[in-house]
Amino acid sequence: MNPYPTPHIDAAPADFAETVLMPGDPLRSKFIAENFLTAPKLVNNVRGVQGYTGAYRGVPVSVMASGMGMPSIGIYSYELYNFFGVENILRVGSAGAIGAHIHVRDILFGQGACTTSRYAHTFHLPGDFAPIADWKLLAAAVGHAEEMGLSYHVGNLLSSDVFYNDVSDLAPEAMPAARWGKMGVMAIEMEAAALYMNAARAGKRALAICTVSDHVVTGESLPAQERQDSFTDMMELALRTAADF
C-alpha cells in the first residue's frame, strides 16, 4: 500500500529535502521560506501546516511547521522520518528562560530535553529514556553560532505538556520552574523531547534550537508579532547548519 499522502502531509518523499527546519508556527515557516530560501515551493498545506522546499546556499532544505506541543510535533516528525525520507530535523522555536544568566533573545541549544510528558511510555521501555540531541548537528550549530558572534547557551531544556499550571498558591521557590532550574535546566518549551525520541527510534538526527522569547522568573517578554518573524539570527543559524548535511 502506498503510504503517501499521510493524513497530515499531502506530498511525496521527493518533495522534501533530507533536512527540515520545524518552527511551531505555520506563519514562521512561510517567513523562513520567503526570506531565506531560493525558489521555495509549497509542498504541504494540510490543516494550514505549511511546508516548503527550496535551497539555501545551493543546498536543498525544507521548512514545515510542527504545531504546538509534543503530540503535534510527534506526528509530523514521525511521518517525515519514517515515510518521507527525512534524515535531519532542526526545531526552531521559542522558549521561556529559567536561568538567571539567560536573557531574552539569547539562543539555546537543547543538548538534552527533560519532560513532564509520558510520551516515552509509548516505546514500552523498562526504564526512563533520556532524550538527547544529535551530536553532529549540535556541534555544527554551535560552530556557526560562534562564527556569527551570537549569545548562546548549551544544556538541558524542559519539554512541558502544559502551558498553564494551576500553582498560584505555591511559594516562588516551590514553583515548578524554580525546581527545574535547581537542576540546571535552561528553559521551558513544548516539543524537543518528542522530537528527540522519534529521531532516536528512527535512527535519524534531531536538534532543538530556541530563541528566548520570555523569562519565566523576571517576566521579561517579546510580543507575539516579534516572536513570529524577528528571530532571524536563529533562522539563519539553523539554515547554515542544514547546509552542512
Active site residues: 214
DSSP state of 100: T
Cell of 94: 521559542
Q: Shortest CA distance to 100 belongs to which of 212, 208, 227?
A: 212
Residue 218 CA to residue 100 CA, distance in Å, equals 8
First to last CA, the chain: 31
In 3-state terms the chain splits into helix, strand, coil percentages (rounded to 5) of 35, 25, 35
> Could you tell me if 111 and 132 are in contact, meaning their C-beta atoms sit under 8 angstroms apart?
yes
Q: Which amino acid is at 236?
A: E
Q: Are 52 and 40 in contact (CB under 8 A)?
A: yes
